[in-house]
Amino acid sequence: MIRTLVLYDGKMSSAQRISSQLSYMIGHTKTAELEEAPEDLSPYGGLCFVFNFYGPVTAEKTRKYLLEHGKMISGKRVVLIGLGFSDQGFTKYVMDLEQETGLAGLSGVFITAQSQATRAGQEIEKIMRAPVNPMEEEALEQAISKFIESRADLALATAGDHYIRCTPLPYLYSGDSFYIVSEGGSDFRGIVDNGRVSAAIFDSSEKSQGNQVSLTFRGEAGIVSPADEEYTRIMSEGGFDREELMMLPVEMFLIRIRPHRFEFPCHKNICP
């Protein structure tokens, strides 16, 4: 996971307040005022500069820092975050600064209110998390499938009106879907309400955050009818005998989860 250094221009300022929020949203960060920035930038693959923007002749401390530390910053991901009432001229400011400093690929994000910090943090996180050498799609699919097959449990999150629930559950993966066998209960009312779920599979043996392997995804969940061939097939794959199931005093429900998007951070030899 890439580490990001968040530097703000001015103590006790809006830039400092926004930096704290952004740092939390981006993750794997360290925050400091420009004049107290760490001398060693080698631990960081990305830098964010937060400053108040009023026009082309502003953020001189940020400009000076970029000019003085250009060689150390070169090759890292750099995002400039401007704070102000209007973003008019901000894009040109970023382009001019990119040309002046020789730092290619500067990104710019503008914030007009503190309430936008969450959105901005998500946008910056995507920039910082983007793989340097993306794995080919076929190889990535194989790595994801291998990881899913090597595990047996997931944490399933469901939600409804004034309700959020996360439940650890064993799963069976078949085709392009996850399946969960359950006796039911109110834990799953979010599935009935809207069907939108999120889940995570991780290696609990890894105690260090930096070493933990995880796969997260969002998708749609629903109940498979016992009358469907899919129910019989999946139950058979899971080692359940249909006649024995029919003899049970309670019904066993089958939940199907169709993932829409996987998030699989690079780790060890799983990703380049």
Decide: 181 and 156 in contact? Cβ < 8 Å. Answer: no
User: 124 pLDDT band (50/70/90 cuts)?
Assistant: very high
User: Which pLDDT score is estimated for 266?
Assistant: 52
Please indicate, yes or no, whether residues 124 and 144 belong to a single structural domain of this protein.
no
User: Which pLDDT score is estimated for 269?
Assistant: 38
Rounded Cα gap, residues 81 and 22, in angstroms: 10
Rounded Cα gap, residues 116 and 134, in angstroms: 30
Please indicate, yes or no, whether residues 120 and 141 belong to a single structural domain of this protein.
no
Rounded Cα gap, residues 29 and 124, in angstroms: 12
User: Which pLDDT score is estimated for 245?
Assistant: 80
pLDDT in tens, 151-189: 889 999 998 878 889 999 999 999 899 999 988 888 788
Rounded Cα gap, residues 144 and 259, in angstroms: 12
Please indicate, yes or no, whether residues 162 and 118 belong to a single structural domain of this protein.
no
Mean pLDDT in the chain?
Answer: 88
Q: What mean pLDDT is predicted for residues 181-206?
A: 85
207 alpha-carbon distance from chain centroid: 20
pLDDT of residue 110 exceeding 90: yes
Of 90-94, 97-101, 249-253, which range is least confident?
249-253
* Stronger pLDDT, 38 or 10, i.e. the higher one: 38
Structural domains of the chain, count: 2
Query: Which among 97, 129, 161 is the end of a domain?
Result: 129
CA distances from 40 to 8, 106, 210 (A): 17, 21, 20
